[in-house]
Structure 1
Amino acid sequence: MKTALELHETELDPTDRAFLAQIREHGWFGTRVFDPEKKELDFTYSTGFFHGLSHPEIIVFSLPKQVSHDILWDIYRNIRAGNVPKPEIRLSGIFGNHQAVLLPVSRDLYAEHLGWSQWFYRGDDFPCLQLIWPDRAGFFPWQPDFDPAFASDQPDLTDGSWAGLMI
């Protein structure tokens, strides 16, 4: 698979070079997308997990910048050490005492959320998983007891709907 790492230096601007330097040095880069006026949800996503670890990229919504970055770093290190999180099952150890779930992101939503990853992979030919966090009581957005105060904090980026999930 071709990536932006193969581009000639003349094809890169300073921002591109800095982005690629981070991937070369650390194996991945975390992109934070935020709206200072809070009209859109904040989110963070990885670029480089698939290239270096053959693991889908990961996107997570509505967490503080440092928290989301630290979580992605922990996941990256765990994958590199052979502890690969499985999608569509409840996972422990990501959010302290609460579980998490990784669900496949629809490629139809890549352009809206994964711009740098699309640039890096030269298109949409890479997988991505959405890291879903529960409410304070441990309920996920698709569960009837999920706290409605958090209902708009994580959009459903799957191909279908969260409604009816039994995870």
Structure 2
Amino acid sequence: MPHDLPACRCVICHDYGDRDEADHTDLRTIEQVRDHGWSVVMVPADAEGPGFAYTIGLWHTHRVPELAVFGLDIGTMRVLLNTLGRQAAAGTVLEPGREYEEVVEGRPVALRTADLRWYREFFGGAIAFHRRPPFPVLQVVWPDAEGRFLWQVGTAESYGRSQPRLWLRPAEHPEGVWSALVTG
């Protein structure tokens, strides 16, 4: 583990007297992180927007960024995050700006660093587990049918409504379902 990383302040590493306040979901997450190294939180699509999923525990267990993906089928997102989690646990370096081939369904994905200002809206479970940022989150971005990533298409593309651009500050994000969640 590199020495320049901040110390882990998660609920497993430190008991500040708040473990007794953990609910069933929190206890299940702690158990999954202890048993498997991480947990995947899945948020289904609803009237507010597309579904998304993210990891909790990769930072604690392996000192690699947590991962988040948006806009795909819940099952596909779980498989994608677990595949990348297993690769990271086996030593694959997950780097922002890099593409990873054939992670799920034979398609590439790319990783981008999520801006801290999005965390409260999307990663509440991870904040509760880690107690507070900083813990890094990488957004897993999938390409459209033509193989283009979000930064290669215009803002009006329907594909861009399926996944946010978390590497942008919320104020820089194109208007739509994602920016409305943070500013609304």
The normalised TM-score by structure 1 is: 0.86
2:39 to 7, 18, 29: 29
Residue identity in the other structure for 1:32: M
Question: Structure 2: how far apart are the matches of 1:109 and 1:162?
Answer: 11
Once the two structures are TM-superposed, the CA of residue 51 in structure 1 deviates from its matched residue by 0.7
The alignment's C-alpha RMSD in Å is: 2.2
- Which residues of 2 match residues 32-47 of structure 1 at below 5 A? 32-36=42-46, 38-47=47-56
Give the match for residue 88 of structure 1: 97
Percent of aligned positions that are identical:
28
Residue identity in the other structure for 2:37: G
Give the match for residue 13 of structure 1: 23
Give the match for residue 52 of structure 1: 61
Are positions 1:99 and 2:115 aligned together?
A: no
**In 2, are the aligned partners of 1:50 and 1:57 still within 8 Å (CA)?**
yes
Give the match for residue 70 of structure 1: 79
Question: Structure 2: how far apart are the matches of 1:91 and 1:112?
Answer: 27
Residue identity in the other structure for 1:87: P
Cα shift readout 1:68-111 (whole Å, capped 9, x = no counterpart):
11111111111111122322022212244432210000001100
Once the two structures are TM-superposed, the CA of residue 162 in structure 1 deviates from its matched residue by 8.4
Are positions 1:132 and 2:132 aligned together?
A: no
Question: Structure 2: how far apart are the matches of 1:80 and 1:151?
Answer: 30
Once the two structures are TM-superposed, the CA of residue 41 in structure 1 deviates from its matched residue by 2.0
The normalised TM-score by structure 2 is: 0.79
Once the two structures are TM-superposed, the CA of residue 145 in structure 1 deviates from its matched residue by 7.4
Once the two structures are TM-superposed, the CA of residue 146 in structure 1 deviates from its matched residue by 9.1
Question: Structure 2: how far apart are the matches of 1:132 and 1:119?
Answer: 25
**In 1, are the aligned partners of 2:108 and 2:142 still within 8 Å (CA)?**
yes
Give the match for residue 113 of structure 1: 122
Moved segments of 4+, more than 4 Å: 160-163
* Structure 1 residues 64 and 14, CA gap change in structure 2 (3 angstroms): same
Give the match for residue 2 of structure 1: 9
**In 2, are the aligned partners of 1:135 and 1:147 still within 8 Å (CA)?**
no
Task: Report how many residues are paired.
Answer: 162
**In 1, are the aligned partners of 2:44 and 2:74 still within 8 Å (CA)?**
no
Any unmatched runs of 5+ in structure 2?
1-7, 175-184
**In 1, are the aligned partners of 2:114 and 2:167 still within 8 Å (CA)?**
yes
Any unmatched runs of 5+ in structure 1?
none
**In 1, are the aligned partners of 2:100 and 2:108 still within 8 Å (CA)?**
yes
Question: Structure 2: how far apart are the matches of 1:39 and 1:119?
Answer: 23
